[in-house]
C-alpha cells in the first residue's frame, strides 16, 4: 500500500508542477482573415507546445481599430489581456500609461539588440527598454495585380500614375473592375499614403506624415495627390463601400478586378488560396514608389501581471515570437518578412525576397518610411484626424482637394 501511496504522491506532485507551469495566456489580436488566422495559429501551436494554454481574444476588423477600442475598455476596467497586438508609436502611448511589462531582461538574455534592425528595435522600446516584441515587417506600398485581367483588357502594369489611369480605363472598358477597394478609413488611408508617396516622393512623405508640416499638408503637392487619390474612386465598384480588405483581395484572386493597393498581408490571402506569385498574381511597387518602402511592423506587448506563472507564459510567448522557427513559419503564411535579421529566405517567394532586399536598400537610401495608415508614423489621435479628413474627402464629390488640404492642417493641429 505504502508504495502505491508514494507513487500517487509523486505523480500528484509532478502533475501539480506541470500544471503550475501552465499559464492561460489570453492574447488580443485582429488576425481573422484566411491568411492572418493561419499565421496566428502557428503561435498558438508553439506556445501550447511549451505547456501553456492559449486563450484567443480575436477582435475582427482589418487595421485593428475595433481591437484597440475593445482593448482600451478591458484595460480601463482593470482587466487587461495577458498580451496584445500593439505596434508603432502606440507602444509609447501605452508605455506612458505604466501598464506594460518590461521585457528588457529577456531581451538582454537573448540579445535582441543584435537580432533586430535598429528601426525595429527602436520601435519596441519605451524609455530605452523593451516593452514589445516584433513579429514581422510588412511592406505597404504594394500593388497586387491579376495578369489575366490585364491580358483580357490589353493593358500593361503601370509604373507611373499616368500609366495607371490608362490601364484602369482599359480594364474598365473591358467590363471588369479596375481597382478592388474596401471603403473603410484605414484602407482609404493605405491608398492615400501610397498616392502621396508615388506622386510626391519620400522627402515630401516625411514632411507630411512624420513632421506633420502644415506647409506640406496644405500645399499644391498635397492638392495634386488628393486629386489623384479621389480619381481612383471612379475605378472601383459599387460594392466597395465598407468591404473588408480580404474580400477586395478575393476580387483579384478570382479575376473580377485588376489591381489592389494593399500591404503584403494581402499575399497571405493569395497563399491561403494556393495562388502563386508571378503566375496567378503579381506583386509590384505601387506607381512611382519602386525606390521606396513604407513599413508596418506588427508587435505584441505584455501587460504587467503579478502571477509568476503568467509572467513565465509572457516570457515564453515573447521568446517564441522571436525564435527563428516561428519567424519563418509565421511570415511564410502572413505575407510579411521576418523582423529578425539574417534568417534564410530560401523558403520565401519572390515577393518576400524583393521585400527583404528593398528593406535593406531603402534603409540605406533613406526611403524606408513608417506607414502612416498603419500606425507607424504618428500617435493614434493624429492618425485618426488624417483618416477622418481623407475618408470624408474620398467619399464626397463636393469637397474640393483645396478644401481637404486645408482641413488636413486643422484636423492634425487639433489632434496634437
Ligand atoms: C494591419 C496589420 C497587418 C494586417 C492588416 C489587415 O494593421 O499590421 O498585420 O493585419 O492590418 O488587418
pLDDT single digits (tens) 198-209 = 999 999 999 999
Task: Give 4-26 pLDDT, tens digit per residue.
Answer: 555 555 555 555 554 556 789 99
- How close is the Cα of 22 to the center of ligand 1, in Å? 30
Query: Which residue carries 484567443 as its cell?
Result: 56
**How many residues does the structure list for the chain?**
416
Torsion angles phi and psi, residue 92, rounded to 5 = -65, -40
Mean pLDDT across 59-63: 96
Q: Which atom of ligand 1 is nearest to the CA of 265?
A: 4
Mean pLDDT across 108-123: 98
Considering only CA atoms, which of 308, 265, 301, 392 is closest in space to residue 71?
Answer: 301
Q: Please give the Cα distance from 22 to 156 (Å, whole number).
A: 56
- How close is the Cα of 198 to the center of ligand 1, in Å? 21
In this prediction, residue 23 carries a pLDDT of: 84
Mean pLDDT across 343-362: 98
CB distance 374 to ligand 1 below 6 Å: yes
The residue whose CA is least distant from atom 8 of ligand 1 is: 298
Question: Does residue 354 register a pLDDT over 60?
Answer: yes
CB distance 31 to ligand 1 below 6 Å: yes
- How close is the Cα of 324 to the center of ligand 1, in Å? 22
Alpha carbons within 13 A on the beta-carbon side of 369: 28
- How close is the Cα of 321 to the center of ligand 1, in Å? 17
Task: Give 160-170 pLDDT, tens digit per residue.
Answer: 999 999 999 99
- How close is the Cα of 63 to the center of ligand 1, in Å? 5
Question: Does residue 39 register a pLDDT over 90?
Answer: yes
CB distance 298 to ligand 1 below 6 Å: yes
In this prediction, residue 8 carries a pLDDT of: 56
Residues with Cβ < 8 Å from 376, sequence gap 6 or more?
A: 87, 88, 89, 123, 294, 295, 296, 297, 370
Mean pLDDT across 124-143: 98
Question: Does residue 310 register a pLDDT over 50?
Answer: yes
Three-state secondary-structure class, residue 295: strand
CB distance 64 to ligand 1 below 6 Å: yes
The single-letter DSSP state of residue 371 is -
Mean pLDDT across 247-272: 98
- How close is the Cα of 297 to the center of ligand 1, in Å? 9
Mean pLDDT across 20-34: 89
- How close is the Cα of 62 to the center of ligand 1, in Å? 6
DSSP-derived pairing of the beta strands 53-58 and 24-29: parallel
In this prediction, residue 13 carries a pLDDT of: 53
Mean pLDDT across 366-379: 98
Boundaries of every domain in the chain: 5-138+296-355, 142-295+368-415
CB distance 62 to ligand 1 below 6 Å: yes
Are 5-138+296-355 and 142-295+368-415 equal in CATH topology?
Answer: yes
Give the three cell numbers for residue 203.
522627402
- How close is the Cα of 178 to the center of ligand 1, in Å? 23
Task: Give 211-247 pLDDT, tens digit per residue.
Answer: 999 999 999 999 999 999 999 999 999 999 999 999 9
Among 28, 29, 31, the mutation site with the greatest number of ligand 1 atoms within 8 A of its Cβ is 31
Share of the chain above pLDDT 90, in %: 94
Share of the chain above pLDDT 70, in %: 95
Superfamily of domain 5-138+296-355: Periplasmic binding protein-like II (3.40.190.10)
CB distance 358 to ligand 1 below 6 Å: no
In this prediction, residue 5 carries a pLDDT of: 59
Helices marked H in 116-157: 118-123, 147-153
Averaged pLDDT score across all residues of the chain: 95
CB distance 36 to ligand 1 below 6 Å: yes
The residue whose CA is least distant from atom 2 of ligand 1 is: 63
Give the three cell numbers for residue 108.
538582454
- How close is the Cα of 60 to the center of ligand 1, in Å? 11
The 136-139 sheet, strands edge to edge = 337-338, 136-139, 293-296, 368-370
Classified by CATH at the fold level, domain 142-295+368-415 comes out as: D-Maltodextrin-Binding Protein; domain 2 (3.40.190)
- How close is the Cα of 61 to the center of ligand 1, in Å? 9
In this prediction, residue 1 carries a pLDDT of: 40
Question: Does residue 44 register a pLDDT over 90?
Answer: yes
In this prediction, residue 22 carries a pLDDT of: 76
Mean pLDDT across 184-194: 98
Mean pLDDT across 331-339: 98
CB distance 296 to ligand 1 below 6 Å: yes
The residue whose CA is least distant from atom 7 of ligand 1 is: 63
In this prediction, residue 14 carries a pLDDT of: 53
Give the three cell numbers for residue 408.
488636413
Among 184, 374, 375, 387, the mutation site with the greatest number of ligand 1 atoms within 8 A of its Cβ is 374
Amino acid at each position: 500500500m505504502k508504495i502505491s501511496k508514494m507513487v500517487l504522491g509523486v505523480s500528484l506532485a509532478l502533475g501539480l508542477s506541470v500544471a503550475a507551469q501552465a499559464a492561460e495566456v489570453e492574447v488580443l489580436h485582429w488576425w481573422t482573415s484566411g491568411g492572418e488566422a493561419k499565421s496566428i495559429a502557428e503561435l498558438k501551436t508553439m506556445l501550447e507546445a511549451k505547456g501553456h494554454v492559449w486563450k484567443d481574444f480575436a477582435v475582427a476588423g482589418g487595421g485593428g481599430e475595433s481591437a484597440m477600442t475593445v482593448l482600451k475598455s478591458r484595460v480601463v476596467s482593470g482587466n487587461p489581456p495577458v498580451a496584445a497586438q500593439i505596434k508603432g508609436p502606440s507602444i509609447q502611448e501605452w508605455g506612458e500609461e505604466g501598464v506594460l511589462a518590461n521585457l528588457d531582461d529577456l531581451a538582454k538574455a537573448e540579445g535582441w539588440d543584435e537580432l533586430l534592425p535598429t528601426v525595429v528595435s527602436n520601435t519596441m522600446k519605451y524609455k530605452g527598454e523593451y516593452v514589445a516584441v516584433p513579429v514581422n515587417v510588412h511592406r505597404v506600398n504594394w500593388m497586387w495585380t491579376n495578369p489575366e485581367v490585364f491580358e483580357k483588357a490589353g493593358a500593361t502594369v503601370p509604373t507611373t500614375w499616368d500609366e495607371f489611369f490608362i490601364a484602369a480605363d482599359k480594364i474598365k472598358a473591358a467590363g471588369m473592375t479596375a481597382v478592388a477597394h474596401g471603403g473603410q478609413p484605414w484602407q482609404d488611408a493605405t491608398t492615400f499614403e501610397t498616392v502621396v508617396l508615388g506622386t510626391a516622393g519620400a522627402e515630401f512623405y516625411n514632411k507630411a506624415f512624420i513632421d506633420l508640416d502644415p506647409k506640406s499638408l496644405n500645399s499644391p503637392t498635397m492638392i495634386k495627390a488628393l486629386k489623384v487619390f479621389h480619381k481612383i474612386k471612379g475605378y472601383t465598384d459599387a460594392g466597395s463601400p465598407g468591404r473588408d480588405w480580404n474580400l477586395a483581395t478575393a476580387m483579384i484572386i478570382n479575376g473580377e478586378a485588376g489591381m489592389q493597393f494593399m500591404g503584403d498581408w494581402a499575399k497571405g490571402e493569395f497563399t491561403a488560396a494556393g495562388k502563386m506569385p508571378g503566375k496567378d498574381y503579381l506583386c509590384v511597387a505601387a506607381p512611382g514608389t519602386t525606390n521606396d518602402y513604407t513599413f508596418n511592423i506588427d508587435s505584441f506587448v505584455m501587460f504587467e501581471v503579478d502571477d509568476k506563472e503568467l509572467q513565465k507564459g509572457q516570457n515564453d510567448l515573447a521568446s517564441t515570437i522571436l525564435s527563428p522557427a516561428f519567424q519563418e513559419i509565421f511570415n511564410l503564411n502572413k505575407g510579411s518578412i521576418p523582423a529578425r535579421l539574417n534568417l534564410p529566405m530560401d523558403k520565401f517567394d519572390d515577393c518576400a525576397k524583393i521585400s527583404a532586399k528593398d528593406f535593406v536598400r531603402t534603409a540605406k537610401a533613406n526611403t524606408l518610411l513608417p506607414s502612416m495608415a498603419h500606425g507607424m508614423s504618428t500617435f493614434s489621435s493624429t492618425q485618426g484626424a488624417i483618416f477622418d479628413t481623407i475618408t470624408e474627402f474620398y467619399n464626397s464629390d463636393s469637397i474640393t482637394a483645396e478644401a481637404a488640404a486645408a482641413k488636413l492642417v486643422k484636423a492634425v493641429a487639433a489632434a496634437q
